[in-house]
């Protein structure tokens, strides 16, 4: 099992974490946000946190009984409505636009950087022209841009119009074009692709614990993930292909992700699984998601 974290990213830093909070720097601004996995004590004093913080997210109750985040507010200095930070890997660079949302997210998930690198490398390793990549539950699109930068024809799907617009801005800010945007329920779309016999060289999934489709369809990870993965198996090519599954649900471990993909997908030539973490200045590790990744390299 691998433990992966971003490296050499000057525009992002996890400064400290603990007491159910995290203190992060995105570019030149420092944000303070709730973090339910930071169950240990902070390394810095409260006064130091206050002095560093530009804006802080607060909620009335934090997380409700179902584990979903309640909405809240940002308080502190008046920050720009939007600012951007670059991300570089090898010859690939993208620009990610940041904004403060009412659900504490800012549109960038820094711990995902190792997955962006993997996606870029996987598309390059296929060594075929214009491989087709499908990004499901794609949010603001960093993974889509990584695949596009490596030469893929990318289909980006999310059920929320606003975040698809955000992803399009990220693409344009990064100097790319021609990503295919779809606003639809992911399960409905994959069922239709399976009926039509459409195949992809790469599939990326980052499903939430709970969600709703564009027409109100309900998604619950533990109830729907098996069907989704079986459908993905039916539309993924059996060679010159790769799969990336990322899970944020607190109840799912890396072993769960690994066992799930291993039980469904056969014939893969390479498999990795593990956790994505962030290190703070005091070398504390904050685990944020688990992943399982498969490569199906062409037989020589």
Give the tens place of pLDDT for each residue, 114-139: 999 999 999 999 989 999 999 999 99
Where do the CATH 3.40.50.150 domains begin and end in the chain? 108-296
Q: How far is CA 129 from the centre of its chain?
A: 26
| CATH among 3.40.47.10, 2.60.40.1180, 3.40.50.300, 3.30.420.10 for 2-83 | 2.60.40.1180
Q: Please tell me the pTM assigned to this model.
A: 0.94
Q: How far from 42 is each of 13, 32, 77, 111, 281, CA to CA, in Å?
A: 16, 13, 23, 20, 11
**Residues constituting the chain:** 300
CB 266 within 8 A of CB 258: no
CB 239 within 8 A of CB 218: no
- Of the listed ranges 35-39, 48-52, 183-187, 248-252, the least confidently predicted one is 248-252
CB 136 within 8 A of CB 156: no
The per-residue pLDDT for range 42-69, each reduced to its tens digit, is: 999 999 999 999 999 998 654 444 445 5
Q: For domain 108-296, say whether CATH 3.40.50.150 is its number.
A: yes
- Write the DSSP symbol of residue 297: P
Where do the CATH 2.60.40.1180 domains begin and end in the chain? 2-83
């Amino acid at each position: 099992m691998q433990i992966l974290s971003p490296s050499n990213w000057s525009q992002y830093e996890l400064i400290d974490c603990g007491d159910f909070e995290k203190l992060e720097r995105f570019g030149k601004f420092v944000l303070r946000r709730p973090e339910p996995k930071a169950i240990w004590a902070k390394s810095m004093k409260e006064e130091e946190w206050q002095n560093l913080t530009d804006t802080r997210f607060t909620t009335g109750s934090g997380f409700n009984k179902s584990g979903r985040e309640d909405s809240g507010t940002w308080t502190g200095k008046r920050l720009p409505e939007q600012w951007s930070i670059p991300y570089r890997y090898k010859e690939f660079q993208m620009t990610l636009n940041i904004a403060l949302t009412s659900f504490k997210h800012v549109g960038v998930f820094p711990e995902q950087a190792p997955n962006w690198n993997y996606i870029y490398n996987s598309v390059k390793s296929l060594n075929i022209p214009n491989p087709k990549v499908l990004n499901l539950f794609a949010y603001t699109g960093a993974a889509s841009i990584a695949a596009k930068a490596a030469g893929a024809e990318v289909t980006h799907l999310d059920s929320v119009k606003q975040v698809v617009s955000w992803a399009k801005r990220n693409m344009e800010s990064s100097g790319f074009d021609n990503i295919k945007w779809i606003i639809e329920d992911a399960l409905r779309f994959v069922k239709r692709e399976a009926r039509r016999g459409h195949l992809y060289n790469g599939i990326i999934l980052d499903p939430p614990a709970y969600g709703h489709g564009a027409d109100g369809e309900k998604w619950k990870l533990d109830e729907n993930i098996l069907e989704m993965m079986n459908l993905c198996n039916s539309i993924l090519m059996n060679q010159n292909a790769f799969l990336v599954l990322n899970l944020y649900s607190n109840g799912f471990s890396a072993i769960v992700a690994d066992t799930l993909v291993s039980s469904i997908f056969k014939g893969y030539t390479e498999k990795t699984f593990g956790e994505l973490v962030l290190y703070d200045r005091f070398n504390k590790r904050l685990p944020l998601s688990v992943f399982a990744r498969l490569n199906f390299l062409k037989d020589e």
